[in-house]
Amino acid sequence: MDALVVSGDAGEELYMLRGAERPYRILVESMNEGALSLTAEGAIIYANNAFVRMSGAQESGASLALRFRNLVYDPDLEKFDRFWADIVETGEIVELRLVFDGQPVPVRLSGSAQLIDNEPVVFLIITDISKRKESEDELKQSLAKSERIISETVSAIAMMAESRDPYTAGHQRRVAQLACAIAEEMGFTKARLEGTSMAGTIHDIGKVAVPAEILTKSGKISEIEFDMVKTHTEVGYKILRNIEFPVPVAEMAFQHHERMNGSGYPSGLTGEEILLEARILAVADVVEAMASHRPYRPAPGTKEALDEISLNKGKLYDSEVVDCCTRLFNEKGFRFVEPEEKAE
């Protein structure tokens, strides 16, 4: 009985009697994954039944007289060539598409190369991942739908504020612009940027519970009236807390009047107790308020706003946030953009 010579680890040669091949062939033929043996040039020497089923080929076992590369869907050829070049050394796993019955099908390839009778032979295992890809696509669509619903919810809440007090709505929109610019300057991820934008857009929603005559009152408001204004953070939190945002938007809105030294409201939080996004909103809120006109007073101006946050850096406002904000205005030309300007 002849011996089949196979190279093993560290160059060790393993000998297997050819008569012992049958159990291994049965094992390969019973696999659910496709299995191929190929020459170093990619010509198919052997294909198991699973590969025949998934590919629509007409035969298994004997050579299919086909180069495997011809099955690879064109847009993925470069990816496959890299895989093929590395397969002998790394046994790399790759996902790409193969053309089965004229249709591109996503598959997972894993492979290795061995010397058999001193000739290199490549072994490939092919797994059809169509169902997994379909599930992933369905999940992506579901996430996209959820994100759209959340975005529409935020827009609806902002419109509610705008219908009652256009000054509050414009203020929230501009605060969101500056807060996002600061967050981006600080290296926030896309998800955190979106969360900061949502929180900025509706951070003052609790003002729907404050009488409009107080919000638009000309001149200084009384202490009692100011206490009523301060309730907007808690009211906003109650409005937002039951909405399943992907980030803690309700907490951000709740904390945007907290100050680093504990002198803010409603909880008197200090330093790191305050969410970073809330610390960003605090700075953006003050700068926008001082840079914009209100029905009860003219705008002090952007310079005065930047002087205010710089003077109180580390005391009332987060130092890094202040540095990013002043850099945006002084070095990078940040300015508030109105909706009609974005549309142009």
Q: Residues 203-223: pLDDT tens digits?
A: 999 988 888 788 777 778 889
Q: What's this model's pTM, rounded to 2 decimal places? A: 0.62
Specify the pLDDT at position 343. Answer: 42
Q: How far is CA 143 from CA 123, 137, 249, in A?
A: 38, 10, 18
Looking at per-residue pLDDT, the higher value among 159 and 327 belongs to: 327
Q: What is the largest CA-CA distance in the chain?
A: 106
In the structure encoding, which two tokens stand for residue 137, read together?
A: 């696509």
Tokens coding 192: 């955190």
> Which residue type is seen at 23?
P
pLDDT average, residue stretch 164-191: 87
The pLDDT confidence band at residue 9, using thresholds 50, 70 and 90, is: very low
Q: Where in the chain is the domain with CATH 3.30.450.20?
A: 3-128
Is-contact 81 92, C-beta < 8 A? no
Is 3-128 CATH 3.10.180.10?
Answer: no
Task: Return all residues near 111 (Cβ < 8 A) that are at least 6 apart.
Answer: 83, 87, 91, 92, 122, 123, 124, 125
Cβ atoms of residues 325 and 246 within 8 Å: no
CATH 1.10.3210.10 intervals, the chain: 136-343
E strands of the chain, at which residues?
Answer: 3-7, 13-17, 34-39, 44-47, 93-100, 103-116, 119-128
Mean pLDDT of the chain: 82
In CATH terms, is domain 136-343 a member of 1.10.3210.10? yes
Residue 178 burial (10 A CB sphere; 0-12, 13-18, 19+): buried
Q: Which residue has the tokens 């990619």?
A: 42
Categorize the per-residue pLDDT at 90 as very low, low, confident or very high, splitting at 50, 70 and 90.
Answer: low
Per-residue pLDDT at 109 exceeds 80: yes
Residue 113: pLDDT above 70? yes
| Other residues' Cβ atoms within 10 Å of the Cβ of residue 132 | 13
